[in-house]
């Protein structure tokens, strides 16, 4: 291969292709055709990591343009359900909001924007590099009401009043008006995702962690406050089963309608009633089929149908909204 050659690009799904191999019979997915900007020898004789453009795609399978670094101080790219979840929490100017697992800060910055940067958004994550990213995004978008802290969410509740007047965690009970728990999860709804490498043990480890975090945030929430629980996965155990568990364990919790409600209703199998399932919101990319549709058939579609199709063709995601009644 020389610079300027027409080449086809594939994704090595299992990561088994050897460096410099001249042929590969493993599992792969075609991504499109392009023009090579480098020769084969330039790619493989390099001792350090390559950067810059290797192939200019001329016939990509996926037609979405790249929005990386486009107006970064004005635009923050998010998947549709991630945008919806902040509107469902519906934070108000002057309130104190907790985003429990906030990295990289997309939802936290959206919440602050919805509040007109008035009030306080506490953004927490247990990994320092991720907290640094939250602070960078808040600064880039010129939002001053976000305060980011590196802290383990399972330990965010303080059992006794502290003397130091410190604004960071742990926090006293009933400290927040609204809380977003976008919980750590198995991430099976993420797209594009050519392969999934987590073991069954890893997938099943998330439910107990989510319940620990849920128990903590409930104690941090004021009576009458709103809690939104969300995940970017599609499993019953991390979504509807968690809602059923929460309603049984905490009788002072009430499921609430969601606005906007763009996704489908909850999945059966966790013991929730049909009315309760209608209060949940599940985005399921497998529910929309674009295979076999050509541009002509899309052009003949009604605008409303196209918008509905686009709204459903997103990542897998789950949202539940609760209100904490005044008496526990």
- CA–CA distances in Å: residue 81 to residues 109, 177, 214, 235, 257: 15, 22, 20, 16, 16
Give yes or no for a contact between 282 and 239, defined as CB atoms under 8 angstroms apart. Answer: yes
Binding residues: 101-107, 125, 152, 182
Backbone angles phi, psi at 133, to 5 degrees: -65, -40
Give yes or no for a contact between 35 and 6, defined as CB atoms under 8 angstroms apart. Answer: yes
Active site positions, annotated? 232
Binding residues for S-adenosyl-L-methionine: 101-107, 125, 152, 182
Rounded to the nearest 10 degrees, what angle do helices 206-220 and 240-249 cross at? 40
- Cα gap 269→235, rounded to integer Å: 11
- Cα gap 288→290, rounded to integer Å: 7
- Cα gap 183→42, rounded to integer Å: 44
Give yes or no for a contact between 146 and 138, defined as CB atoms under 8 angstroms apart. Answer: yes
User: Can you give the C-alpha Rg of the chain in angstroms?
Assistant: 23
């Amino acid at each position: 291969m020389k610079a300027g050659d027409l080449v086809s690009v594939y994704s090595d799904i299992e990561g088994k292709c050897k460096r410099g191999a001249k042929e590969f019979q493993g599992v792969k997915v075609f991504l499109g055709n392009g023009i090579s900007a480098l020769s084969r020898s330039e790619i493989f004789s390099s001792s350090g990591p390559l950067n810059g453009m290797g192939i200019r795609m001329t016939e990509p399978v996926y037609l979405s343009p790249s929005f990386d670094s486009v107006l970064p101080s004005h635009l923050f790219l998010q998947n549709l359900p991630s945008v919806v979840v902040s509107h469902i929490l519906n934070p108000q100017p002057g309130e104190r909001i907790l985003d429990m697992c906030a990295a990289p800060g997309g939802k936290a910055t959206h919440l602050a924007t919805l509040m007109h940067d008035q009030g306080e958004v506490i953004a927490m994550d247990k990994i320092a590099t991720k907290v640094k990213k939250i602070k960078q995004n808040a600064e880039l978008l010129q939002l001053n009401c976000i305060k980011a802290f590196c802290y383990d969410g399972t330990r965010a509740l303080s059992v006794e009043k502290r003397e130091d007047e410190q604004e960071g965690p742990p926090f006293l009970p009933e400290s927040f008006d609204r809380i977003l728990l976008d919980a750590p999860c198995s991430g099976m709804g993420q797209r594009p995702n050519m392969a999934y490498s987590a073991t069954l043990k890893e997938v099943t480890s998330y439910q107990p962690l989510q319940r620990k975090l849920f128990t903590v945030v409930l104690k941090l929430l004021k009576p009458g406050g709103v809690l939104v629980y969300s995940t970017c996965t599609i499993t019953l155990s991390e979504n509807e089963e968690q809602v059923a568990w929460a309603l049984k364990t905490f009788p002072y919790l009430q499921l609430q309608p969601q606005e906007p409600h763009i996704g489908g209703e909850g999945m059966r199998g966790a013991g929730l009633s049909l009315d309760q399932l209608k209060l949940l919101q599940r985005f399921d990319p497998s529910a929309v089929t674009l295979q076999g549709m050509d541009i002509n058939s899309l052009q003949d579609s009604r605008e409303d149908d196209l918008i509905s199709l686009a709204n459903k063709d997103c990542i897998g995601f789950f949202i539940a909204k609760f209100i904490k009644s005044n008496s526990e």
